[in-house]
Amino acid sequence: MQFKDIQGNSHVKDLLIHSVKENRISHAQLFLGPQGCGKLSTAIAYAQYISCPNRTETDSCGTCPSCIKFQKLIHPDLHFVYPVVTGGSNKKPVSDDFLPQFRQFALKSIFHRVEDWYDEIGSENAQGAIFAQESQEIIRKLNLKTFEGEYKVMIIWMAEKMNETAANKLLKMIEEPPEKTLFVLVAENEEQILTTIRSRVQLVKFSKLSTQETQKALKQEFPQADDTKINDASILGAGNFTEAADILKQFISGGNENPDFELFTTLMRESFSSHYDKIISLSDSLAKLGREKQKRFFDYCQRMIRECFMLSSISSELVRMTPAERQFADKFSPFIHQANIANLTELFSEAGRNIERNAYGKLVFTDLALKISVQLHIKRN
């Protein structure tokens, strides 16, 4: 992985390159930013740059033995930790148990989403985590000498998924690591990381991609796609490449493969009509989704509610929707207005928090649908 392969966040890449040139590499760093901005790929490119013996002013050489191993994610001084799930006879899983799948997943795209990783390993409804036994593996690996490079690099992807026991076991290692050891924690939610961990790392903040950067990244990944579709998907993605890619796939397939949109429209219709038998049936379907997909669905619902409010109350010129979404919103948006927008948004936020706390999905969705029904019947002021 090289910096030149990653769209966006030029200021971050410049900062990282400068730190290597000045020999001022912080031993523990937190790469923090929204989903779909290329944090994990940048962490790998950074590790490759540090280890490359022939690095240039702006990037690793990409051709030396070290770079070739990094590009296959098989360099012996590069280590990964990421959320895993328990299953079958494996009651105490660690990242190495899933290393072949993770290499394939990480190399598949420049931009990564945790629910796609869970799909890769077939987690079903299980929520992934970084468990206590992982810390023991980290400490063991980093106490070894480097094999080939100057630095041992430990990349902890989705660091907010570390449970408290795992995080506490790493505190001393992060604060006083062995010589020439680099921790790169990659995360989306800073508040879910222990304060004691956050206080020991240097924060590196990533931004969303611009529309132009998203367009370039989509062209790289979907070279055969129509420019107009790429442009529309880039705008609708709102700086999140993974969302933009999903939208582009929907455009390419004819607009019929967005399950979140289908679920949203059904939820709104059945809630408005107070079809309680259908609401119960829909809740069953929603409850069968994996928890990451459920949380993603709630985020999608919030976006659609916000866009419908913009369409009905502010300005249609500011609305960002796919053609299918806009067709539905033209009829539905009058029911979203000043008197219920705040309550509807909070309902979806609360549902997401409940799912995060492992609440029973069917109850969460049923309760949500009934409350939405009340809100949709509130008249405009």
SS3 state at 91: coil
Q: Tokens 């990409």 appear where?
A: 62
pTM listed for this prediction: 0.83
CA distance 164 to 130: 9
CA distance 241 to 274: 37
DSSP H/E element including 78: strand 78-81
CA distance 73 to 322: 37
CA distance 117 to 211: 25
- Per the structure block, which two tokens stand in for 60? 């690793």
CB 278 within 8 A of CB 270: yes
Closest listed residue to residue 16, CA positions, set 166, 204, 151: 204
CA distance 123 to 84: 8
| pLDDT at site 283 | 86
CB 170 within 8 A of CB 135: yes
CB 231 within 8 A of CB 25: no
SS3 state at 221: helix
CA distance 117 to 127: 11
Distances (CA, A) of 102 to 114, 140, 151, 217: 11, 21, 22, 22
DSSP H/E element including 153: strand 152-157
SS3 state at 361: helix
- Within 8 A by CB and 6+ apart from 117, the residues are 82, 83, 102, 105, 128
Count of all residues that appear for the chain in the document: 381
**pLDDT tens digit sequence for 217-262:** 999 999 989 898 898 889 888 889 998 998 888 888 765 556 788 8
On average, the pLDDT of the chain sits at: 90
Closest listed residue to residue 186, CA positions, set 239, 112, 118, 285: 112
| pLDDT at site 255 | 55
- Within 8 A by CB and 6+ apart from 312, the residues are 333, 334, 336, 337
DSSP H/E element including 205: strand 202-205
CA distance 82 to 276: 41
| pLDDT at site 257 | 53
DSSP for 300-348, please give it.
HHHHHHHHHHIIIII-GGG----HHHHHHHHHHGGG--TTTHHHHHHHH
**pLDDT tens digit sequence for 132-152:** 999 999 999 998 888 887 899
| pLDDT at site 150 | 86
**pLDDT tens digit sequence for 33-44:** 999 999 999 999
| pLDDT at site 289 | 81
| pLDDT range class, residue 286, cuts 50, 70, 90 | confident
